[in-house]
């Protein structure tokens, strides 16, 4: 179950053989990167393309060709509680500083929601979860750590919250691509201002996950599920070889419509405009194969899925993503 778990302290990773089913690789490599220097780039997440480009410079053409990279979600290295939907619910110590063991489909998404609902209520959770924005010569960058005061009687008067980035890779139907080696992942630089030292990350943790081995029971048992868009879905792209796409038929769009955004894909010296459905929105699911759809959502659907676009999760409607709403209804 759950793939190889790797101790971040030892930095020695033992990965099992890549697994195939029906010619389709169903293996993911999760990574947790630690921000070492301020980051200057896309504010919502580290784009899959930025991660891809940093890795592509250091791998073989075959790996570069096959590799698909998710967006990198910013995660505060803070104490937390794993929610009920996860495989090991309850107090989890410093949750944001290592990858969770992945046994159920829900576990995959524990660190992928910017609201980070697992943060403890007994600590200033919103203060821990907004990023410390700094001004560097007119450029707004995010700090790799944030300092907090402590009561005067504490021996060390201050403590800091360190920021991490959660992402995952897969390799389509190609064999022998994953895992990407620790030496490649351990000293990447991401985003803008790299010549000035910005965007340096180190590898904190990585593991392999077999999508086939995960439990999808909660989805299978659910009467109804909703779809939560975790990264932007591309409607149109100026990239030469990219097709325009409609909103998929199996999306039940709310009456008020979808929030659309404009974003850019930077490839080398070229910049391409993209029209996207903005991430974070929740839609109805009008399909009838939730588990297959759920796996597709992890791999990403639509144009530029190679760079993490079109990632979504399905969620049983009885499991509101705001857990207190469910708890309150249980009481009444």
Partner 1 sequence: MLAVYRHDLHKLRGRSHLDATETLAGQRVNESVPHGADRDAALLSRPGGHPEQTVPAHNSPFRLSLGTGAQVIDAVGIDALGDAVQEFVTIQDAATAHRAWLNSAVAAAMNESLYYPYTSLKYHVLLTAALLDAYRDGAAFSDLWLALDDPEDGLTPHRTVLHTDRVSLRLTPNPGDRPAAPLGDTPARSFADVWTRLPARPAGIDPDGDRRWRILDAQLRRIRAWSTALQYLEDCLSAGTVETDTDRTPIDGGWSDAI
Residue 43 found at the interface with partner 1 (CB under 8 A): yes
Q: How far apart are the first and last CA of the chain?
A: 38
Residue 148 found at the interface with partner 1 (CB under 8 A): yes
Residue 197 found at the interface with partner 1 (CB under 8 A): no
Residue 261 found at the interface with partner 1 (CB under 8 A): yes
DSSP-assigned states of every residue in 87-154: SS-EEEEEGGGSPPP--BGGGGGTT--TT-TTB-TTS-HHHHHS--EEEETTEEEE-SEEEEE--TTS
Binding piece for partner 1, criterion CB under 8 A, among 19-27, 29-37, 98-106, 276-284 = 276-284
Residue 324 found at the interface with partner 1 (CB under 8 A): yes
Among 59, 101, 132, 266, binds partner 1 (CB under 8 A): 132
Residue 321 found at the interface with partner 1 (CB under 8 A): yes
Residue 155 found at the interface with partner 1 (CB under 8 A): no
Residue 281 found at the interface with partner 1 (CB under 8 A): yes
Q: Classify residue 15 by burial, with Cβ atoms within 10 Å: 0-12, 13-18, 19+.
A: middle
Q: Which two tokens stand for residue 255?
A: 């009456």
Tokens 């030892």 locate to 10
Binding piece for partner 1, criterion CB under 8 A, among 1-9, 87-95, 180-188, 249-257 = 249-257
Q: In what order do the strands lie in the sheet with 270-277?
A: 233-237, 270-277, 260-267
Residue 238 found at the interface with partner 1 (CB under 8 A): no
Strands 79-82 and 90-94, bridge-based pairing: antiparallel
Among 149, 221, 246, 249, binds partner 1 (CB under 8 A): 149
Strand partners of residue 264 = 273
User: Which stretches of the chain bind partner 1, using CB under 8 A?
Assistant: 43-44, 114-117, 121-127, 129-135, 140, 143, 146-152, 158, 254, 256-259, 261-262, 279-282, 320-322, 324-325, 328-329, 332
């Amino acid at each position: 179950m759950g793939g190889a778990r790797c101790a971040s302290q030892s930095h020695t990773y033992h990965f099992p053989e890549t697994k195939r089913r029906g010619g389709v690789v169903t293996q993911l490599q999760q990574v947790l990167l630690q921000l070492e220097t301020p980051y200057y780039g896309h504010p919502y997440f580290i784009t899959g393309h930025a991660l891809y480009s940093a890795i592509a410079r250091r791998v073989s053409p075959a790996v570069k060709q096959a590799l698909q990279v998710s967006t990198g979600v910013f995660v505060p290295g803070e104490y937390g509680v794993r929610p009920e939907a996860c495989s090991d619910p309850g107090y989890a110590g410093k949750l944001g500083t290592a990858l969770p063991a992945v046994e159920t489909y829900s576990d995959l998404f524990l660190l992928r929601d910017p609201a980070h609902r697992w943060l403890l209520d007994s600590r200033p959770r919103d203060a821990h979860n907004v990023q410390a924005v700094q001004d560097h010569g007119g450029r707004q960058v995010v700090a790799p750590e944030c300092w907090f005061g402590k009561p005067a009687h504490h021996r060390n008067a201050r403590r800091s919250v360190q920021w991490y980035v959660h992402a995952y890779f897969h390799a389509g139907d190609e064999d022998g691509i994953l895992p990407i080696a620790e030496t490649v992942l351990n000293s990447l630089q991401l985003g803008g201002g790299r010549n000035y030292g910005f965007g340096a990350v180190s590898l904190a943790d990585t593991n392999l996950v077999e999508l086939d081995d995960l439990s999808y029971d909660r989805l299978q048992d659910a009467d109804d599920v909703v779809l939560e868009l975790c990264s932007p879905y591309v409607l149109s792209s100026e990239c030469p070889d990219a097709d325009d796409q409609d909103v998929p038929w199996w999306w039940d769009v709310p009456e008020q419509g979808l929030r659309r955004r404009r974003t850019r894909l930077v490839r080398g010296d070229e910049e391409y405009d993209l029209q996207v459905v903005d991430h974070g929105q929740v839609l109805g699911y009008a399909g009838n194969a939730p588990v297959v759809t759920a796996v597709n959502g992890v791999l990403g659907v639509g144009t530029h899925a190679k760079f993490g676009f079109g990632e979504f999760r399905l969620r049983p409607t009885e499991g509101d993503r705001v857990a207190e709403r469910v708890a309150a209804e249980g009481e009444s």
